[in-house]
Chains A and B, each alone.
Chain A
Amino acid sequence: MGLFENMRRRREVEKLEDQARTNPGPNTFAELAEKLLAYGEEARALDVAKEASAKYPASEHVQTTYQFILRTHLQNRIRDLNRRLAQNPTPADYASLAQLYYKDLGDRDAALETCRRGSVPFPNDENLHLVNGLVRFDRFHEDFLAKDGLRAIEHLEKAATLNASNYKAHALLAQVFVEIGALGRAKVSLRTVLRLAPEDDRARQMLARVEAVAPVGPTEVDLERLLLDVERRGSLTREARAMVAGEFEKPVTEKRTRVDEAKLAPLLGRFDSVDGVRGALVLTRRGETLASKAAGVSADSLADVVRQVYDVAEESSKRMDIGSFVRGTIDGPFGTLHVVELRSLVLAVLTTPDAKQEQVVESIDKCLDLLASGAVGTV
């Protein structure tokens, strides 16, 4: 590479560094990190991306860039592990790879996939069950889906059975049992934790709180029913959170909707200028219509369809174990039906077959931005 090329690159990086100092923002940092990586300064790129990731946790651009740079940085290790798994697979290598995806890259899907692959030849590997349980445990705390909770318990119990001294598995089991109200089971797990680690004050305090609430608690409980209760509520109970007491770091907020319905009509009015829109409506996730407009189709019928489509999509996603429904489109001779979930609301738009879908999607995204910004209240 010539001297002038070097100087040009240096200037580009310096310009972005200046921008990051004078006008800091997620995109500036992400661009700086990308440029550093492109010019081979991997270590600095990783530092910048890591700093940006901590500063702007909600920025998709920053998070994607950070993950990409981190993945590039860890690529050699991943390649090495995959090569070894292809030649001479061992449970330890599967577990290392799953851990690397989970802990270092925060890629829970890849971690789960690795656990699944590893569990075929090694169904009784404690570490694979532990990582699988950890990932499901995290996912449970994100969406509170019963299936995630159940899988977390299954894998953690398997890890604890394979190694009765697996402190982490017992501790996580105790926490999830407390959270869902299986207090008899929680006490058994907490006593095991204390037997393995008598100095664990957190477990001792949790056990004291559980015993104060439920001195005698059955150990035979219907876990699935308890988990489904949590799923229906969409959060843990206040009592459960108090018993876990600070151990669960992520704040759990009650989902409360306070929407100004009068402001929703003008919001849907945005679709008037989009050719081919036959109807648009906003429902609550429970199916209550908050606003609707329709032409050539009955607004009530459309609301019925959207309610059913949303329920089917949500149920199918959960049963297929791919989380909660977020967004969907159905195309047919009738046109296209878009259904999008935003927190407690569902937005749906029905178009004719000849509608320009890019325009429709753009208008839907603008609507979602406005809903998310609080322009119509808390959603």
Chain B
Amino acid sequence: MKDILRLLNQEVGVKGSVVVTQDGMVVASVLGVGLEEETVAAIASSTILNIRAALAKIGAVAFERMVFVSTYGKMIFVDAGIAYLVVVCDKKLNLDLTIVAVMGAAYRIRNLGQIRV
């Protein structure tokens, strides 16, 4: 799984990626300088849980993909089976191009079979 993340991180603008379960357990991570695994995992899991809770109010049980664009960076969350692939990117990243690579990575992670945590 780390190889998939390493490959993904070679995309222009990707600063780091992590596969994290909803309860914040890190399955695998490859993070750049300045990103700490524990922090990214905590933020990612609380974001996923809170967004899922919010969506439940309109009867939506889950989300497949979520993209946040902020002033200095971007975050992409993709459902990869029993965990989520979370990618932290810089603001200059071309979303249209990179989203294809992110979805491909999530697909490969999903196909790795049961994630053992």
Residues of A near any B CB (own CB < 8 A): 108-109, 113, 116-117, 119-120, 139, 142-143, 297-298, 301-302, 304-305, 308-309, 312-313, 316-317, 319-334, 337, 350
Contacts and interface: CB of A to CB of B under 8 A. Distances in A.
A332 B75 contact: no
A142 B60 contact: no
Given A334-B58, A334-B59, A324 B91 contact: no
Interface string B53-80: 1110111111111111111111100000
B18 to A, nearest CB: 11
B95 to A, nearest CB: 10
B68 A316 contact: yes
Interface centre among B40, B47, B69, B90 (most CB of A within 10 A): B69
Interface of B: 32-34, 39-40, 43, 46-47, 50-51, 53-55, 57-75, 88, 90-92
A298 B58 CA distance: 8
Nearest to A294: B58
B66 A328 contact: yes
Nearest to B50: A312
A116 B90 CA distance: 14
B69 A301 contact: no
Given A304-B57, A331-B64, A324 B43 contact: no
Contact of B91 (A109, A142, A309, A331): A109
Interface centre among A142, A322, A324, A350 (most CB of B within 10 A): A322
B-side binding surface: helix, strand, loop or mixed? mixed
Nearest to B59: A334
Contact of B74 (A116, A322, A333, A350): A322
A312 B61 CA distance: 17
Given A312-B50, A316-B47, A320-B40, 19 more contacts: A109-B73, A116-B32, A116-B33, A298-B58, A304-B54, A305-B55, A308-B53, A309-B51, A317-B71, A319-B43, A321-B34, A322-B74, A324-B70, A325-B70, A326-B71, A328-B67, A328-B69, A333-B60, A333-B62
A329 B66 contact: yes
Contact of A316 (B53, B61, B65, B75): B75
A320 B88 contact: yes
Nearest to A317: B70
A239 B69 CA distance: 34
B4 to A, nearest CB: 21
A312 to B, nearest CB: 4
A317 B59 contact: no
B47 A297 contact: no
Nearest to A297: B58
A328 B95 CA distance: 12
Closest 5 CB pairs of A and B: A322-B73, A323-B71, A334-B60, A308-B54, A323-B72
Contacts of B51: 308-309, 312, 330
Given A316-B68, A329-B66, A331-B64, A322 B57 contact: no
A348 B74 CA distance: 19
Contacts of B58: 297-298, 301-302, 305, 334, 350
Nearest to A350: B58
B54 A332 contact: no
11 contacts: A109-B73, A116-B32, A116-B34, A308-B53, A308-B54, A312-B46, A313-B68, A319-B39, A320-B70, A326-B70, A326-B71
A301 B57 contact: yes
A321 B70 CA distance: 10
Contacts of B59: 334
A302 B56 CA distance: 10
Contact of B65 (A139, A304, A322, A331): A331
Contacts of B46: 312, 316
B72 A109 contact: yes
Given A301-B58, A309-B51, A312-B54, A139 B72 contact: yes
B88 A332 contact: no
